[in-house]
Amino acid sequence: MTTWTSAPTGRMAKLFRALSDEKRLRIVELLRGGERCVCDLQEAIDAGQSLLSFHLKTLKEAGIVDDRREGRWAFYSLNAEAFAEVEGFVAGVRQDAESSGGSKCCG
Amino acid sequence: MTTWTSAPTGRMAKLFRALSDEKRLRIVELLRGGERCVCDLQEAIDAGQSLLSFHLKTLKEAGIVDDRREGRWAFYSLNAEAFAEVEGFVAGVRQDAESSGGSKCCG
DNA sequence: TTGACTCATCAACCCACATTGATATATACT
DNA sequence: AGTATATATCAATGTGGGTTGATGAGTCAA
């Protein structure tokens, strides 16, 4: 068990929740190449304008993406810090899982 | 953009979905210390027996935990491989996010 | 100012899923 | 056999959230 002072599971749950939708993951994939405007995302994703806006809002509220306005366009980009949070948590769990011994109860 | 031949977003979405519930994350935290029986988990989690069983099933179906029967007890443990999958994906995205330049559209 | 364009928000719908309580299954003990 | 324990499954309920279409707000061009 690596030292990991109980990462706030509420925060983690929120991050995982935002990433749990296939369309939102598709958006993340598209943003891996860099900042994109909504109009560009819309071409690449099978979703109406309203739905895309909803998913972007969901990602933004979780802190997974940042947005920026420029004229009539809105640009979205990935927030590296959020993924670092997730990576840290998951890596810790993986390490523990790899080194976990036998049963710890009901002996 | 690191080479990452489009990790199956469906699989990732399923993993994230299973991790998107706070009670399930609590279960994961408990399993970080090693294999546990359901009876042990039940004491530590604010959930009825039926609900706990449901969440364990959800985690199992996503491949996040493994189970083992021994007499009338069921033992659950973390599946390190699943977390390695998630870690690989998230780490890739984080790297891209950190090195992403400016806008790629609407020039 | 008018209209076209980009994006967000709202209202309504529907479905997946978390939750609960009851029942079923399987094992152990007497 | 019968009873107690451990866990899973089933049925029913309620709610969150994904989806859609329409409307609103802001920006640019003519």
How do residues A26-74 score in pLDDT, each as one tens digit? 999 999 999 999 999 999 998 999 999 999 999 999 999 999 999 999 9
pLDDT band at A100 (very low <50, low <70, confident <90, very high): confident
Tell me if A103 and B36 make a contact (CB, 8 A cut-off): yes
pLDDT grade for A15, boundaries at 50, 70 and 90 = very high
Torsion of CA A80, A85, A88, A89, to 10 degrees: -150
Q: Determine if strand D comes within 7 Å of the CB of A32.
A: no
CA–CA gap between residue B26 and residue A98 (Å, rounded): 19
Q: Which parts of chain B have pLDDT scores under 50?
A: 2-6
- Give contacts of A29 with chain B, Cβ < 8 Å: 6, 9
Nearest to B105 among A37, A78, A100 (CB): A37
Residues 6+ apart with CB under 8 A from A98: B80
Q: Do the Cβ atoms of A13 and B22 come within 8 Å?
A: yes
Q: What is the 3-state secondary structure (H, E, C) of A1-60?
A: CCCCCCCCHHHHHHHHHHCCCHHHHHHHHHHCCCEEEHHHHHHHCCCCHHHHHHHHHHHH
Which tokens is B106 given? 């609407």
- For tokens 């995205």, name the residue: B93
| A35/B22 Cβ within 8 A | no
> What pLDDT is recorded for position A13?
98
Residue B45 is given by DSSP the state S
pLDDT of A5 strictly over 50: no
Q: Return the H-helix or E-strand segment holding B18.
A: helix B9-18
Using a CB-CB distance cutoff of 8 angstroms, which residues of chain B are in contact with residue A105?
36-37, 39-40
